[in-house]
Homo-oligomer: A and B are copies of this chain.
């Protein structure tokens, strides 16, 4: 690991925090992980991200950087020695950014909706939407990855990190609802990709285990509502 002065304020189950951890791992940058306790915010967090008051925050040389994908781009631009996270071609970069924004703005809210939506009809509509999202991402995988192992080609890149950080949550949702979202028959590219991504050295100790997320979600559901 390269010598660095990097702290990450986060929590293990957060996909947004996981993105920062994966990017740092890919670049072989060591970092101190400062766990934020569930339900409270540390003084350091409030001071470092006064606008959103949210994790992740990465503090590098005393300077805080916020927002997961902005942090990932910062990591790419500071540690230029490691493997590239963004493609070198401007069009490929634009595509990676486009689909990463799609994951955040569309897929993730729909996936969350699938858990929180009540009523059978609404649940079925939400499930249909998640499945459509997966088909779109299958297409993006083919186009961005150009037939290789990852969205980033031969190695894990920006869109792998953006989407892959949700893999634990996708699997937890599959398990709890007894459904298949990343389906070997319907989205074979994503199916193989998910296996490769999840077992990659930079990822495997970062992405939370499915069973732990199941437990966490059950615990959160059992909390008395405010």
Contact = CB atoms under 8 A, between A and B. Distances in A.
Indicate how many identical chains form the complex: 2
B93 A74 contact: yes
B63 A98 contact: no
Given A78-B90, A93-B77, A67 B101 contact: yes
A51 interface: yes
Nearest to A50: B136
Most buried by B among A71, A90, A101: A90
B136 A51 contact: yes
Q: How large is the interface on A (under 10, 10 to 19, 20 to 34, 35 or more residues)?
A: 20 to 34
Contact of A51 (B71, B91, B102): B102
A89 to B, nearest CB: 9
A91 B65 CA distance: 8
Contacts of A70: 94, 97-98, 101
The 3 A-B pairs of least Cβ separation, nearest first, read A77-B90, A74-B94, A70-B97
